[in-house]
Structure 1
Amino acid sequence: MPDWLHIVVRATSALVILFVLTRILGKKQISQLTFFEYVIGITLGDLAGVISTDVESNFLHGVIAILVWCLIPFFLELFTLKSKTLRTWFEGKGTVLIKEGKVLEDNLKKERFTADELLQQLRTKSVFRLADVEFAMLESSGDLSVLLKSEHQPLTPKHLNMKLVTEKPTQTVVMDGVVQNEPLAAAGRGPGWLHTELDKIGVTKENVFLGQVDTHGELTVDLYDDKLQVPEPSARPMLLATLKKCEADLELFSLTTNREQAKLMYEECSRQLTKVIQSVTTILKS
């Protein structure tokens, strides 16, 4: 067998073996690496390169070496699932760099972190003032976790006592001009509804690059023809406007009626509808 063909076979075999073993080891091997996983990754890459190009070496010996370097971490990971001590030993633990708004210089020195590196890591978290930080920890993966002071944290609907609907995954119901029946069913819609919605905005499914149904059941599309303007969904604004019109009508009826009982009924209905409008306004405006 020619050397070049020998190398092709060995390299292909090494690639397949590494792919299978990486799938067995799991997603952690391709995410943020710990010290131990970093060493394993470098060694496996070196072994794969050697057995791929060194035609004089024994291929089987190289495969055995790769198996050893994969199986030992695999079994160690199983053991570390049940032992915090082993997890700390092999994966390390986080180091607090900022506590109660104060930089812990001793911990910085321990991790060989300079002030410039700390500020750089903070900037990657969109934090440009050290004084805004309440707590920061350097994780074992090398990533910096940051907790801002309360007054600098972004507002959430809970802070404003707003109730929102439970978010559901957005379903892609049209892709490359082809209707995706399974996501369409998961969104609680059918082909008839989809064609009706496409007719409303005046496009055909063949012209739709991507079509998605959001949490509120509204269809948004991206077209192949970028010059064609697609109208924004108007169902929620129209519903809000209708509710406000009904509220105004009830108030008008209460003012124009001469019957006291009817007047009280209209006023009560108007108050109840006002509460409903206040509770759904955020949803219908979003």
Structure 2
Amino acid sequence: MPEWLTIVIRALGTLVFLFVLTRILGKKQISQLTFFEYVIGITLGDLAGNISTEVESNYWHGVIAILVWCLVPLLLEILTLKSKTLRIWFEGRGRVMIKDGKILEDNLKKERYTADELLEQLRTKSIFRVADVEFALLEPSGDLSVLLKSENQPLTPKHLGMKLVTEKPTQAVMVDGVVQNEPLAAAGRGPGWLQTELEKLGVIKENVFLGQVNTHGELTVDLYDDKLKVPEPSERPALLATLKKCEADLELYSLTTQNEEAKMMYEACSVQLTKAIQQVHTLLRM
């Protein structure tokens, strides 16, 4: 057998073997590398390269070595799930770098961190003043977790006393001009509704590259023909305008009627409708 073919076969076999072992080890090994896992990754890469290209060496000896280097971290991961001491030993622990807007220089020295490196980490999170930080923790993975002071945190609907609907995943109901029945059903819609919405937008299915249904059940599309302008969904703004018109009509009726009982009824309905509009105003205006 030619030497190049031997290398191809060994490399493909090693690739499949490593893929299977990586699936067994789980996603954590990919997303968060601790010091120990970093060493494991480097060693596995070196072993995989050696057994793929060194045709004189015993292939199965290399496979056994890779198996050992994968089974040991798997066993340690199981043990660390049950022991916090082992978890700290192998994965390390976080260290506070900033507290109450002040840098803890001693902790920086322990982590061999410079002020420039700390500022760089803060800038990646769009933070440019240390004084704005309430708390910053260097995680075992090397990432910096930051909590801003209350006055520097962004406003949320909760701060403004607004109630929003629970967000649902956006469903891709059309891809490459083809209707995706499962996402369409998950969005609580049917083919008839989809066709009606496309007609409202004035587009045909064949021209739709991507169609999505958002949390509010509205269809948005991206067309193959980028020169065509697709109107924005207008159902919610139209509903808000209708509610406001009804509110104004009720107030007008209460002012123009001569019947006291009818006047009181119109005023009560107007007040109730005003409260309802206030509750849904933010949702319908978005």
Q: TM-score range by the shorter chain?
A: over 0.9
Q: Residues of 1 paired with 2:113 and 2:5: CA distance?
A: 49
Query: 1:123 & 1:166 partners in 2: Cα distance?
Result: 32
Aligned with 1:136: secondary structure?
strand
Structure 2 Cα separation of the partners of residues 179 and 269 of structure 1: 44
**Contact 2:133–2:146 (CA under 8 A) maintained in structure 1:** yes
Compute the displacement of 1:79 (Å).
1.2
Matched residue type, 2:60: L
The count of corresponding residues between Structure 1 and Structure 2 is: 286
Partner in structure 2 of residue 146 of structure 1: 146
- Cα separation, 2, equivalents of 1:271 and 1:110: 64
> Which string of whole-angstrom CA distances, capped at 9 and with x for unpartnered residues, describes residues 49-76 of structure 1?
0000000110000000000000111111
Maintained 8 Å contact 2:100/2:135: yes
Aligned pairs for 1:31-110 (under 5 A) are: 31-110=31-110
Q: Normalization by structure 2: what TM-score?
A: 0.99
Unaligned runs of 5+ in 1: none
Rounded to whole Å, the distance in 1 between the matches of 2:180 and 2:75 is 41
Q: Distance in 2 between matches of 1:183 and 1:17?
A: 35
Displacement of 1:128? 0.8
Structure 1 residue 157 corresponds to structure 2 residue 192: no
In 1, distance between residues paired with 2:96 and 2:73?
A: 28
> 2:57, 2:281 → 1: CA distance?
72
* Aligned counterpart, 1:13: 13
Alignment identity in percent? Answer: 81
Whole-angstrom distance in 1 between the partners of 2:127 and 2:69: 40
The RMSD of aligned alpha carbons is 0.6
2:97·2:138 contact (CA, 8 Å) conserved in 1? Answer: yes
Q: Which residue of 2 aligns with 1:173?
A: 173
Partner of 1:251: 251
Q: Which moved more, 1:119-128 or 1:28-37?
A: 28-37
Q: For 2:93 and 2:262, how far apart are their aligned partners in 1? A: 70
1:81, distance to aligned residue in structure 2 (A): 1.1
CA distance in 1, matches of 2:89, 2:34: 11
1:285 to 2:285 alignment: yes
Q: What SS does the aligned partner of 1:140 have?
A: coil
Using the TM superposition, give the Cα deviation of residue 32 of structure 1 relative to its aligned residue in structure 2, in angstroms. 2.6
1:87 is paired with a residue of what secondary structure?
helix
Distance 2:207 2:87 in 1: 53
Aligned mates of 2:93, 2:210 — CA distance in 1: 43
Give the SS at the match of 1:157. Answer: coil
TM-score by length of 1: 0.99
Equivalent in the alignment of 1:223? 223
Q: 1:260-279 alignment to 2 at 5 Å?
A: 260-279=260-279
Q: Which moved more, 1:81-90 or 1:275-284?
A: 81-90
2:130 corresponds to: 130
Aligned equivalents of 2:191, 2:81: Cα separation in 1: 47
The residue matched to 1:126 in structure 2 has which SS?
A: coil
Q: Partner letter of residue 232 of structure 1?
A: E
Residue 22 of structure 1 pairs with residue 25 of structure 2: no
In 1, Cα distance between the equivalents of 2:72 and 2:192?
56
